[in-house]
Amino acid sequence: MPQHNVSDTKPYQPVQITPYLKGADFPASKDELLECAEENNAPDDVICAIRSLRPSRFKTLTDITKSQTQNYH
């Protein structure tokens, strides 16, 4: 699996990540989101984007978007 750095991935909009988080129970940890995305056969760039999130407990998909935005500012 190719390795990606945070600097070479673009922030994802919720609509791009959402299909791969189908079945996720919120609140969810980053590890739980990764597990869900992997179970939903998310592509490597989506997995990398989730891995780049700051460790947190996410209450909603909006929290994920906020975390992504913070990674790029």
SS (H, E, C) 16-59: HHHHHHCCCCCCEEHHHHHHHHHHCCCCHHHHHHHHCCCCCEEC
Q: What mean pLDDT is predicted for residues 1-7?
A: 51
Can you give the pLDDT at residue 65?
Answer: 82
For the stretch 25-65, pLDDT in tens is: 999 999 999 999 999 999 999 999 999 888 889 999 889 88
Does position 2 have pLDDT exceeding 60, yes or no?
no
Residue 46 lies in a domain: yes
Could you tell me if residue 66 is inside a domain? Answer: no
Residue 8 lies in a domain: no
What is the domain range of residue 51?
A: 17-57
pTM of the model: 0.74
Peptide bond before 19: cis, by omega within 30 degrees of 0? no
Question: Can you give the pLDDT at residue 47?
Answer: 94
10 lies in a domain?
A: no
Q: What is the number of domains present in the chain? A: 1
